Amino acid sequence: MKIKPEPPGAYGFPGHWLEGKLENPKLWSSEQPNLYTLVIVLKDLAGNVIECESCQVGLRKVALVHKQMLVNGLPVVIRGVNRHEHHPRAEKTNIEACMIKDLVLMKENNINAVRNSHYPQHPRWYELCDLFGVYVIDEANIETHGFFLTHKFKHPAEEPDWASAMLDRGISMVERDKHYASIIVWSLGNESSYGPNHSAMAGWIRGRDSTRILDYEGGGSRTSSTDIVCPMYMRVWDIVKIAKDSSENRPLILCEYSHAMGNSNGNIDTYWDAIDSTFGLQGGFIWDWVDQGLLKDFNGAKHWAYGGDFGDEPNDLNFCLNGIIWPDRTPHPAVHEVKYVYQPLKVNLLQDGIQLKNAHFFDTTEAFEFTWILQGDGNIISSGLLDVPIIAPQRDYVIKFESSPWETLWKKCEANEVYLTIITKLKHSNRWIKEGHVIASSQLSLPANNLFISHVIEMPKVSVAKEHVGDSIIFSKKDAWEINVNTKTGTIDNLKINGKTVLTKKGIFPCFYRALTDNDKGGESNSYASKWKAASIDSKISTPLEEFSVKDLSDHSSQVSARLVAKNSYGALLTIEVKDTIYASGDVILDYNVIPKDDLPPLPRVGIVFHVEKEFNRVSWYGRGYA
């Protein structure tokens, strides 16, 4: 390596540059975080060592091409989260063990990228991201969230008096963090509108560091100061529309999406169906990683405290709890879904077999072991190792059914539902994950051989017995079952099986409301909760009966038809057309057709409530997944 004088017109701190060339280096990426140890020794003229410094160095190249961000020449996909610095006891004090815990959890759950929200973080964090292999967006400590509420002052982004302060924050971030390989993108800040001061900062950073690209969402996420289209919380159809816009040459990476507050993250698979299938979409960062609650003792019981729990006024209540993990780093249930949509080994069902696809960009499948499980009606039929050749990055391998180890067992299986589960595990422990850790799992529904559905309604050649008693029509089969339909409400209000009452007198009723989630309340007057309240969907709703009839059908069943109108104190909201088909076997098919008013917002729920007797307090569940 050679010392060279600083080039004329260079940006940044003055000094000398140390330049050298490394032949055929091992490049750094999230999948292969190769690092070199750089040692710099300062000697005097006599050869005596005056000072010696060393650090870890990663070599990689970030570039932009048409609608793609490339790392080492490949369009890596960002499977990311936003991360605040937070500890449940030490608050914003950084603890290395907590950083390592975060990175281990991220790697275990297929997360490969972090956006530092919303400030440069502790230097040790970047060293660990280099070591573990996590892509980083480093973000300048600039945010003016809420400034739009004042109309008296010019926005700092447009105010010349604020230019030096904003530039200082961007310059300080770049100069301090420029040597970390994990940082592939610089961010100009968060939610700070857009103005000339951002343009100045973008110009300075581009002049100082041509090895990285810029990201900034403010001003609509498509200004000249960002190299990535980086919206937050944009609808799936809108990101697809931008990706297909021929006039937009930049890749789209969501800087925030899938707001993880409370019961949330439910449609993240829809985002990833689009990302995995649309050129120009390159991933995103979930908001956010960890709940920022603090451990507090309340009358001898400990819980996670948030705004208002410390006598603080005003406060944001639980709006600091947006993570997919608890403050103590225990995963929320949503983490399992995140891990699934982020998994790098995909399994697809073909007409004559299954396709295993390696979605990695640098790693082969050499480090993985594949196993299979065949299940029929929820019971394991057989399982075993799957002999799969090494699959190169971005390549796939097809297993034909006729040569698969489950073919014979599957063909002999008489189950109504047959599922095949493919599990990918780590063969040997690495720096962050122990051997046997499940990297990916996929479950496929195989065609059943007996062509039966799970339940077939018997069709006895006798009509359903029925009688009118007061305000009820009673359908029954002696000593077997009894169903009461209320002629005043048009609903089933009692059900007995073998003489045992199953439903309470409230019976079965339509329902159009549910408990609010935290995300329902977000957006103030534009939130779903506000819209439902304005439409009075949250108020007490009655369902008076408008029409009622009963008729016998040709297959010896009876059909109850009813027309209900859902009303509140302000008037009608919905019309409900009900058809209950009752068979002599005791089977009942409920068919509800709900017609809302044209001016209603999207409904919080369209469903029915079964008011069962309290003694029925245990539920068995059969569904997808494996234990």
Per the annotation, the verdict on 191 as an active-site residue is: yes
Q: What is the DSSP string of 32-70?
A: SB--EEEEEEEE-TT--EEEEEEEEE----EEEETTEEE
In the chain, the amino acid numbered 489 is: T
Detail the DSSP E strand segments found in 327-367. Answer: 345-349, 353-358
Q: Which of 31, 191, 337, 417 is catalytic?
A: 191
**Tokens at 573, concatenated:** 């909201």
H/E stretch holding 383 reads: strand 379-386
Instruction: Give whole-number Cα distances, 87 to 103, 326, 333, 340, in Å.
Output: 14, 10, 20, 27
For 400, half-sphere exposure in the C-beta direction (CA atoms, 13 angstrom radius) is 2
| Distance separating alpha carbons of residues 105 and 561, to the nearest angstrom | 54
- CB of 111 within 8 A of CB of 343? no
- Token pair for 29: 């990426």
Backbone angles phi, psi at 118, to 5 degrees: -125, 60
Q: Using an 8 Å Cβ cutoff, are 181 and 60 in contact?
A: yes
Whether the CB-CB separation of 115 and 137 falls below 8 Å is answered with yes
Q: Which two tokens stand for residue 160?
A: 């010349």
Beta strands in 402-437 (DSSP E): 418-426
- Phi and psi at 315, nearest 5°, equal -150, 170
In this structure, are residues 258 and 281 in contact, taking their beta carbons and an 8 Å threshold? no
Residues paired with 91 in a beta bridge: 87
Query: Which parts of 212-306 are beta strand (E)?
Result: 213-215, 252-257, 281-286, 294-298, 301-305
Nearest alpha carbon to residue 39 among 23, 13, 57, 26? 57
Reduce the DSSP state of residue 391 to 3 states and report it.
coil
Say if residues 286 and 80 touch (Cβ distance below 8 Å). yes
Q: By CB neighbour count within 10 A (0-12 exposed, 13-18 middle, 19+ buried), where does 385 fall?
A: exposed
**Tokens read off for 127:** 């060293």
Instruction: Quote the Cα angle for 280-345-340, to 5°.
Output: 85
Question: What's the chain's length in residues?
Answer: 627
What is the signed CA dihedral for 254, 260, 264, 266, rounded to 10 degrees? 30
Write out the two tokens for 486.
């209320």
Query: Residue 188 in contact with residue 142, Cβ under 8 Å?
Result: yes
Per the annotation, the verdict on 256 as an active-site residue is: yes
User: In a 10 Å sphere around its CB, with 0-12 CB exposed, 13-18 middle and 19+ buried, how is residue 281 labelled?
Assistant: buried
8 A C-beta contact, residue 156 and residue 146: no
Q: Are 9 and 204 in contact (CB under 8 A)?
A: no
The pair of three-digit structure tokens given for residue 409, joined into one six-digit string: 């067992």
Q: Hey, which residues are catalytic here?
A: 191, 256
